[in-house]
């Protein structure tokens, strides 16, 4: 009886371990597939400052066109600039969409290579777009969500891929680290004093002197 | 003989009269007369211009002197000096409230509530009221607890002295004596974070040493700005401790304890930490050491700059701020 139970437990344990291994292998397989993601995955910034994020594609074969949309919290972030990077293999290309909509909090881009461009492949990563955002308000976490993503190959087949969103943490600024203190030299102060005295003297003498000059000329003419 | 003499004298007088008359009657030519007139006019004009110059200099002096008037030197007493109030007072100096980005009403409300429940009468000095002259008179109000919620900045390459921001725009013509003596400096923000390019006056430890009226009368100072302790030292037993020019100046001017940060700190972090610290100090009546250590344990170090709270001098760790009345949670 005891032996049977032990066997049962052993069977279950073996099955569990196998399932776990299978899951891990699947996960590794997915992780090594084509991926479209926001980089850096989390960005920490202080309010009112601008920062860049990139939308990267990783481990891709025969890429011949792409499109994606990125949504962001329009109250916390403002997209101020974008820069599309074209692979060198794409000697001829067409950008169908490249639109920042800060009212809706979205960015939409669609680019495709045209003949005679060669398809683009990389085992590493390639930055498709750089987006510059300005942090508007303090927030613990604001998600940069990738959606409507499409990667197409030379035969206009849609490529399977995974996407990874990014997030931004916006902090209050430091209480002094962004500032500087500068001692003022005596020479600088003396120069300022002289400048002030000269300007006051000129302010008085020029109008009065002009009046006197005009009067003298008038008297001379009369004589 | 006498007649002859008389005649000679008369003829001499007559000759003299003739000469005088001749010189008197000698008429100048038209050209020379015009020249003389011109000269006379030129002389008057010169005198007139000189007079204007003198007036101009006098008036400019009247304008310029008040700007350049030397500021009071080291003065421990002032005509307004008061240490007479029966109420125990605390002050929140909220210079950070000057900018929208750093304004935090809930901090001010929470801190005021904790202090009031601990029996303090709380003064709030906000924004534009935080001037050089406000710091000059900080020692005359008999505050027993001073919370300095202000920007504090170091020099280029993070060199001392540390300067506390005022909200008073910088001018070359004000506090010249103190500027020349490095008691006040020119401070400003380097980045666009505050969207403010204005230069302000900053006050250094020398200002508290030599320009402040009164003294701190055993007050507890909480300096919420960056780099309140910039230097690291070791005591006789080899214990590491933090100190700084500002900390020493406050202690030299009569403060009991000075609590601040060992480096840069975020606005949100210093607000959270100070509320926690006040709860430990006022509400739970912990010693300075306990309160600082427990605050550091609770809020951790600053998430960006890694700084922690410290106190100075090292030997007041067992000090507990005076109990004004039993803490009343309302």
Joined tokens for residue B254: 């009569």
CATH of the domain at A64: 2.60.40.680
Q: Which residues contact A128 (CB under 8 A, 6 or more apart)?
A: A36, A54, A55, A56, A57, A66, A84, A85, A109, A111
ipTM: 0.70
Same domain assignment for residues A26 and A134: no
Q: What is the pLDDT of residues B246-259, one digit of tens each?
A: 999 999 999 999 99
Indicate the helix (H) or strand (E) that contains A211. Answer: helix A186-222
Contacts of A1 (CB under 8 A, 6+ apart): none
Q: Are residues A9 and A109 in the same domain?
A: no
Nearest CA in chain B to A175: B151
Pairing of strands A50-71, A139-153: antiparallel
Is A205 inside any structural domain? no
Nearest to A60 by CA among A109, A107, A111, A128: A128
Q: What is the pLDDT of residues B159-180, one digit of tens each?
A: 889 999 999 999 999 999 999 9
A106 and A93 both lie in a single domain: yes
Q: How confident is the model at residue B285 (pLDDT cuts 50, 70, 90)?
A: very high
Which of B267, B284, B275, B281 has its CA nearest to residue B319? B281
Q: How many CB pairs under 8 A join A and B?
A: 157
**b or e along B312-328 (b: 16 or more beta carbons within 10 Å of the residue's beta carbon)?**
bbeebeebebeebeebe
Q: Which residues of A touch B38 (CB under 8 A)?
A: none
* Confidence at residue A188, expressed as pLDDT on a 0 to 100 scale: 86
Asked if residue A215 is part of any domain, the answer here is no
Are A116 and A25 found together in one domain? no
Task: Count structural domains, chain A.
Answer: 2
Identify the DSSP state of B166: E
User: Does B153 contact A216 at a Cβ distance shorter than 8 Å?
Assistant: no
Domain boundaries, chain B: 2-68, 89-316
- A135-139, A143-147, A201-205, B231-235: which is most confident: A143-147
The lowest-confidence range among A13-17, A34-38, A178-182, B213-217 is A13-17
What is B89-316's CATH topology?
Rossmann fold (3.40.50)
pLDDT score, position B157:
82
Please indicate, yes or no, if residue A113 is contained in any of the structural domains: yes
Q: What is the pTM of this model?
A: 0.71
Residue A163 placed within a domain: yes
A10 in any annotated domain: yes
Helix axis angle, B30-68 relative to A186-222, nearest 10°? 150
Examine residue A15 and state whether it is found in any structural domain, yes or no: yes
Q: Which of residues 257-316 of B touch A (CB under 8 A)?
A: 264-268, 270, 303-305
Residue A220 lies in a domain: no
Q: How far apart are CA B295 and CA B288, in angstroms?
A: 10
Answer yes or no: is pLDDT of A158 > 80: yes
- A76 in the same domain as A166: yes
Rg (CA), chain A: 34
Q: At what angle do helices B288-299 and B267-278 cross, to 10 degrees?
A: 140
pLDDT of residue A66: 96
Residues B60, A204: C-beta atoms closer than 8 Å:
yes
Instruction: Report residue B277's pLDDT band, with 50, 70 and 90 as the boundaries.
Output: very high
The C-alpha atoms of residue A83 and residue A98 are separated, in whole angstroms, by 10
Is residue A199 assigned to a domain? no
Percent of chain B with pLDDT over 90: 55
**DSSP per-residue codes, B40-55:** HHHHHHHHHHHHHHHH
SS3 B261: strand
Answer whether A176 sits within 8 Å of B152, measured CB to CB: yes
Tell me the residue range of the domain where A127 lies.
34-171
Q: Are A58 and A122 part of one and the same domain?
A: yes
Are B60 and A200 a contacting pair at CB < 8 A?
yes
Task: Give CA–CA dist B251/B205, Å, rounded.
Answer: 11
SS3 assignment, position A179: strand
Q: What tokens were used for B21?
A: 């008359």
Judgement on whether residues A12 and A109 belong to the same structural domain of the protein: no
Please tell me the least confidently modeled range out of A101-110, B279-288, B313-322.
B313-322
Average pLDDT, chain B: 84
Confirm or reject contact between A45 and chain B (CB < 8 A): no
Over the stretch A167-208, which tens digit does the pLDDT of each residue have? Answer: 999 988 888 878 899 988 888 888 888 888 888 888 888 888
Q: Inform me whether the C-beta atom of residue B179 falls under 8 Å from chain A C-beta atoms.
A: yes
Q: Tell me what pLDDT residue A29 has.
A: 46
Residues 6+ apart with CB under 8 A from B240: B232, B233, B234
């Amino acid at each position: 009886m005891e032996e049977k139970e032990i066997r049962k437990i052993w069977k279950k344990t073996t099955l569990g371990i196998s399932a776990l291994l299978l899951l891990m292998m699947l996960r590794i397989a997915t992780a090594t597939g084509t991926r479209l993601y926001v980089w850096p995955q989390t960005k920490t910034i202080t309010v009112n400052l601008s920062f860049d994020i990139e939308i990267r594609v990783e481990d891709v074969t025969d890429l011949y066109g792409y499109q994606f949309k990125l949504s962001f919290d329009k109250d916390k972030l403002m997209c101020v600039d974008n820069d599309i990077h074209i692979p060198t293999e794409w000697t001829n290309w067409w950008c169908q969409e490249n639109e920042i909509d800060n009212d809706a909090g979205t960015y939409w881009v669609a680019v495709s290579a045209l003949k005679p461009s060669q398809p683009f492949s990389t085992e590493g990563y390639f930055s498709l777009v750089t987006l510059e955002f300005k942090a508007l308000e303090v927030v613990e976490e604001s998600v940069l969500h990738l959606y409507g993503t499409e990667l197409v190959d030379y035969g206009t087949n849609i490529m399977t891929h995974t996407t990874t969103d990014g997030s931004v943490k916006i902090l209050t600024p430091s209480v002094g680290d962004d500032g500087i203190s500068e001692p003022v030299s005596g020479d600088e102060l003396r120069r300022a004093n002289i400048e002030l005295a000269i300007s006051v003297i000129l302010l008085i003498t020029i109008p009065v002197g002009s009046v006197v000059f005009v009067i003298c000329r008038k008297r001379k003419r009369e004589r | 003989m006498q007649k002859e003499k008389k005649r000679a004298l008369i003829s001499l007088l007559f000759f003299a009269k003739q000469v005088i008359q001749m010189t008197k009657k000698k008429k100048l030519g038209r050209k020379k007369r015009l020249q003389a007139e011109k000269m006379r006019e030129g002389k008057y004009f010169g005198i007139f211009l000189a007079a204007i110059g003198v007036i101009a200099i006098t008036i400019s002096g009247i304008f310029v002197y008040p700007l350049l008037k030397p500021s009071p030197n080291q003065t421990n007493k002032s005509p307004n000096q008061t240490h007479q109030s029966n109420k125990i007072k605390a002050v929140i100096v909220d210079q950070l409230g000057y900018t929208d980005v750093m304004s935090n009403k809930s901090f001010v409300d929470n801190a005021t509530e904790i202090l009031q429940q601990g029996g303090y009468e709380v003064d709030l000095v906000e924004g534009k009221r935080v001037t050089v002259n406000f710091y000059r008179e900080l020692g005359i109000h008999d505050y027993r607890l001073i919370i300095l919620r202000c920007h504090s900045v170091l020099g280029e390459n993070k060199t001392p002295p540390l300067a506390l921001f005022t909200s008073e725009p910088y001018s070359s013509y004000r506090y010249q004596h103190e500027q020349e003596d490095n008691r006040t400096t020119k401070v400003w923000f380097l980045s666009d974070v505050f969207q403010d390019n204005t230069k302000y006056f900053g006050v250094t430890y020398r200002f508290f040493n030599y320009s402040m009226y009164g003294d701190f009368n055993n007050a507890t100072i909480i300096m919420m700005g960056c780099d309140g302790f910039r230097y690291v030292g070791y005591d006789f037993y080899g214990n590491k401790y933090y100190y700084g020019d500002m900390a020493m100046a406050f202690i030299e001017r009569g403060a009991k304890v000075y609590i601040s940060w060992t480096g840069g700190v975020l606005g949100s972090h210093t607000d959270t930490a100070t509320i926690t610290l006040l709860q430990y100090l006022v509400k739970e009546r912990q010693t300075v050491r306990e309160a600082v250590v427990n605050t550091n344990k609770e809020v951790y170090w600053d998430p960006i700059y890694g700084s922690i709270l410290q106190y100075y001098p090292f030997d007041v760790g067992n000090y507990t701020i005076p109990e004004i009345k039993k803490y009343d949670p309302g």
